Amino acid sequence: MAHRLQIRLLTWDVKDTLLRLRHPLGEAYATKARAHGLEVEPSALEQGFRQAYRAQSHSFPNYGLSHGLTSRQWWLDVVLQTFHLAGVQDAQAVAPIAEQLYKDFSHPCTWQVLDGAEDTLRECRTRGLRLAVISNFDRRLEGILGGLGLREHFDFVLTSEAAGWPKPDPRIFQEALRLAHMEPVAAAHVGDNYLCDYQGPRAVGMHSFLVVGPQALDPVVRDSVPKEHILPSLAHLLPALDCLEGSTPGL
């Protein structure tokens, strides 16, 4: 007789799963620049940030830790390059803006809890589930979660900076399982990124759910992720968990 699957640990992505920026990034950067006497279009900063972040992540992955950088220096460099790409050539003028933005993005008030996140976390704890965070975030995450009242829900918070490996590297999921003293078959991960949060945990034998929101599904996701693993909102998590636990292990 097959044993009933039981999930005992839920690990969570954070950005765009539980939290999001209170204001669009380009607007936040432009507002801070204006306070320092610089006028820059938010759209140019948004585009510049995407380019700078992509290039920095490629050249110095996971905050450049293996290259001797700190996460703070990594982010300051991203901000400087963002403004440069947006047409601001005076790095000396941007330096204090970068410092202030790093501090601002450390503050809980810069972030907001997504609808349904706190209720879902509370319901999971009421069920007796253990909860933890696995996030490609830096050392500021603990303080942000604490300031927003979410830290108390989690047994531990594992960032890629602390672990030394970013998702979807299997080692960060294995480290979380080690910290929780949990077998992968009894754990599931919840997040919004197909590679990092859906495929990554499955590579080490965990289960996973993909938060997609109301927008149209990417064809890759639609064709490769079963419907019962897709969460249009966090309110769909517990019913999806019931469905998973009602299935036959190994299927």
pLDDT value at position 37?
95
Q: Domain locations in the chain?
A: 9-18+114-246, 22-110
Domain 9-18+114-246 has CATH 3.40.50.720: no
pLDDT value at position 3?
62
pLDDT value at position 150?
98
Domain 22-110 has CATH 1.10.150.720: yes
21-79, pLDDT tens digit by residue?
A: 999 999 999 999 999 999 999 999 999 999 999 999 999 999 999 999 999 999 999 99
Q: Quote the CA–CA distance of 25 and 52 in Å, as a whole number.
A: 13
The 8 Å CB, 24+ separation contacts for 173-181 are 173/11, 173/134, 173/200, 173/201, 173/203, 173/204, 173/206, 174/204, 176/11, 176/132, 176/134, 177/9, 177/204, 177/206, 179/132, 179/155, 180/9, 180/130, 180/132, 180/155, 180/156
| Alpha carbon 224 to its chain's center | 22
pLDDT at 251 over 50: no
pLDDT at 232 over 70: yes
pLDDT at 248 over 60: no
Give the chain as a 3 state SS string.
CCCCCCCCEEEECCECCCEEECCCHHHHHHHHHHHCCCCCCHHHHHHHHHHHHHHHHHHCCHHHHHHCCCHHHHHHHHHHHHHHHCCCCCHHHHHHHHHHHHHHCCCHHHEEECCCHHHHHHHHHHCCCEEEEEECCCCCHHHHHHHCCCHHHCCEEEEHHHHCCCCCCHHHHHHHHHHHCCCHHHEEEEECCHHHHHHHHHCCCCEEEEECCCCCCCHHHHHHCCHHHEECCHHHHHHHHHHHHCCCCCC
Residues 6+ apart with CB under 8 A from 48: 81, 82, 83, 84, 85, 86
| Alpha carbon 20 to its chain's center | 9
Give me the percent of the chain exceeding a pLDDT of 70: 97
pLDDT value at position 216?
78
Q: β-strand 19-21 against 111-113: which pairing, if any? A: antiparallel
The torsion angles phi and psi of 111, rounded to 5 degrees, stand at -115, 160
Q: Taking a C-beta distance cutoff of 8 angstroms, is the pair 220, 100 a contact?
A: no
pLDDT value at position 212?
94
pLDDT at 240 over 80: yes
Q: In which band, very low, low, confident or very high, does the pLDDT at 218 lie, cut at 50, 70 and 90?
A: confident
Q: In which band, very low, low, confident or very high, does the pLDDT at 2 lie, cut at 50, 70 and 90?
A: low
161-208, pLDDT tens digit by residue?
A: 999 999 999 999 999 999 999 999 999 999 999 999 999 999 999 999
pLDDT at 1 over 50: no
